[in-house]
A and B are shown apart, each in its own frame.
Chain A
């Protein structure tokens, strides 16, 4: 069975602070994908990044960066110099197994509030 845990239910920061959202996953499969999605108040899930289990390189995209560590089964997401527009719910998700790729297992989500 697959499981994703986002231990931080809510995070509140002031604009320009850096913030890290934690994600820990569980799977017995050796091949899997990890995702981060952003959900603004409108409800739509916005794709941010996908990582496969064979690629442990960290990635940076503008103010966003991701740290994937298989040794600790973690896929953490950092926003540098946060902005008010970053306020949203962020979900980490996992799809795993040859027959299970079509199914995304989501964490509970982290509510990020960035204050001006």
Chain B
């Protein structure tokens, strides 16, 4: 069975640009969560989507947005990129809303120059 897949794996963008990151959850999983992991720190929660609705939002600016599609895949969008947005972006999928068994993808490493 395929695990959580994220694309692209690496990305380099320029300050001020926009980026879209994609995540395909494990088949049968309806919850997708996004985390930002800055080098040397633990992951920070950005969003959770369950059944195509936003169910949780972390302390991130409005430049960050996300959505979930009917097939439960998800996109994370970041506008007006800043150098500080450089990080590993992780997607987690879970069968249930409570994420008691969340599986993570390998992440997208975003570098903003």
Contact of A103 among B56, B90, B100 (CB under 8 A): B56
Nearest B residue (CB) for A42: B106
**A102 pairs with B48, CB closer than 8 A:** yes
**B104 pairs with A44, CB closer than 8 A:** yes
User: What B residues does A104 contact at CB under 8 A?
Assistant: 33, 35, 43, 45, 92, 99, 102
B23 to chain A, nearest CB (A): 13
Could you tell me how many residues of chain B have their Cβ less than 8 Å away from some Cβ of chain A?
29
**B42 pairs with A91, CB closer than 8 A:** yes
Contact with B along A71-106 (1 / 0, CB 8 A): 000000000000000000001010100001111111
User: What B residues does A45 contact at CB under 8 A?
Assistant: 43, 90, 92, 104
A29 to chain B, nearest CB (A): 13
B interface residues (Cβ-Cβ under 8 A, vs A):
31, 33, 35, 40-45, 48, 50, 55-56, 58, 88, 90, 92, 97-107, 109
A interface residues (Cβ-Cβ under 8 A, vs B):
4, 33, 37, 42-47, 50, 91, 93, 95, 100-109
